[in-house]
Amino acid sequence: MASSRLKFKNIDNTGFGNNSNVEGGRLVNRDGSTNLRKRGMPIWERLSVYHTLLRMKGSHFFFTIILSYTVINITFAGIYFAIGVENLSGIDTSKSMVDEILAAFFFSSQTLTTVGYGHVAPTGLLTNIVASTESLLGILSFAVVTGLIYGRFSRPRAFLLFSDNILIAPYKDGKALMLRVATYKNNHLTDVEAQLTLALHINENGKLVTRFYPLPLEFSKINSMALSWTMVHHITEESPLYQYSKEALYDAKMELMVYMKAFDDHFSNTVQQRTSYTFEDLIYGARFLPMFERSADGSYTLLELDKINLHEPVTFKEEIMV
């Protein structure tokens, strides 16, 4: 059995190594990012702040902006307080220390944003130097933030929604591995291509190695992603999955990596997205149910995105015969 499984030609251009003993969990996360950590260099050399801010979640991004804004104001408020709030004309120094600190903080925020309401102004050379420095920092900071916000909104994205599971379902006179994908935004993708790569952990001569196999699809390219697309890999004798049972796929810690590329009409640019499924996401003996139908008045087609994971159990012919 093992020798026959190895007859299928594996590929080595995936970017991942074939030594299973050094792998930590899955190779690709569900969001498409590589399940990898790097070290050996200082973090400020390994970390690209631009890429981090551009790709982080929207909530995290705006929290980072607000946090940075607050920290800068607190820092400059501390400097103004250390110099002496009496050097800020318009602040009532007869009040408590808390009131003085708050006044310095709000003066800092007005200076950083270059609002300058006018009722508080710096006096003295040192205070004016600090205020000028903060104004320059504010102009530069808001220019950077504006560029980042524009970059986040204008960055081409595929906006693809993948099914939570991959299925092995009856297909023609045999079986097929299937997964489903659809666009969830009002964008239109054309010339959509998909590539599936199967990773299996195999024991070869007492050594656990990772082998990668391309899985050809019934259709690897479609002209338009108007509705959902159910990708089908027919499990024939030429398929690396042909002699693998459900239990064997679990033992081999199967991982399916999905790479998609398409052309977005709105961006007039090529977009791509990837994801990964592990053996835990595999459902053996199930098929997808339809996720689109004609509207009630018959005037348009309704694509129900919340049904992308909808499936039902099925029985294979050989199981019925047994």
Region 13-39: mean pLDDT is 76
Percent of the chain, pLDDT > 90? Answer: 50
Region 274-302: mean pLDDT is 92
* pLDDT tens readout for residues 98-110: 888 888 899 899 9
Rounded CA Rg of the chain: 29
Are residues 162 and 150 part of one domain?
no
How far apart, in Å, are the Cα atoms of 265 and each of 116, 158, 315?
45, 11, 41
Are residues 161 and 136 part of one domain?
no
Integer Cα distance of 165 and 297 in angstroms: 33
* pLDDT tens readout for residues 173-229: 889 999 999 999 988 899 999 999 999 988 877 788 888 999 999 999 999 998 999
Average pLDDT, the chain: 87
Are residues 167 and 149 part of one domain?
no
CATH number at residue 201: 2.60.40.1400
Are residues 181 and 77 part of one domain?
no
Confidence band for 169, pLDDT divided at 50, 70 and 90: very high
Integer Cα distance of 191 and 134 in angstroms: 50
CB 241 within 8 A of CB 171: no
Percent of the chain, pLDDT > 70? Answer: 93
Which alpha helices (H) appear in the chain, and where do they start and end?
A: 2-5, 43-46, 49-55, 58-83, 97-112, 125-154, 246-251, 317-321
CB 160 within 8 A of CB 182: yes
pTM over 0.85: no
CATH number at residue 81: 1.10.287.70
Integer Cα distance of 322 and 314 in angstroms: 15
pLDDT at position 21 over 80:
no
Are residues 308 and 173 part of one domain?
yes
Are residues 243 and 146 part of one domain?
no
Q: Which of 123, 154, 185 is a domain's end point?
A: 154
Are residues 175 and 76 part of one domain?
no
- The total domain count for the chain is 2
CB 27 within 8 A of CB 276: yes
Answer whether residue 34 is part of any domain: no
Q: Which of 121, 154, 187 is a domain's end point?
A: 154
Integer Cα distance of 281 and 183 in angstroms: 21
Residue 90's identity, in one-letter code, is: G
What pLDDT shows up at residue 275? 95
Q: Picking from 39-48, 151-160, 267-276, 297-306, which range would have the lowest pLDDT averaged per residue?
A: 39-48
Region 119-137: mean pLDDT is 90
pLDDT at position 1 over 70:
no
What pLDDT shows up at residue 177? 95
* pLDDT tens readout for residues 250-264: 888 899 999 999 999
Are residues 171 and 308 part of one domain?
yes
Structure tokens belonging to residue 38:
């790097």
Confidence band for 277, pLDDT divided at 50, 70 and 90: very high
Answer whether residue 302 is part of any domain: yes
Q: Which of 154, 172, 205 is a domain's end point?
A: 154
pLDDT at position 131 over 60:
yes
Integer Cα distance of 55 and 257 in angstroms: 21
Integer Cα distance of 124 and 127 in angstroms: 6
SS3 (DSSP) at 16: coil
DSSP labels, 150-201: HHHHHS----EEE-S-EEEEEETTEEEEEEEEEE-SS--EEEEEEEEEEEEE
Answer whether residue 42 is part of any domain: no
Answer whether residue 48 is part of any domain: no
What pLDDT shows up at residue 138? 93
Answer whether residue 18 is part of any domain: no
Answer whether residue 67 is part of any domain: yes
What pLDDT shows up at residue 20? 63
Are residues 148 and 180 part of one domain?
no
Are residues 258 and 147 part of one domain?
no
Look up the domain containing 179 and give its range.
2-11+157-321
Answer whether residue 105 is part of any domain: yes
Answer whether residue 25 is part of any domain: no
pLDDT at position 316 over 80:
no
Are residues 165 and 123 part of one domain?
no
Integer Cα distance of 59 and 66 in angstroms: 11
pLDDT at position 65 over 60:
yes
Are residues 181 and 79 part of one domain?
no
251 contacts: CB under 8 Å, gap ≥ 6: none
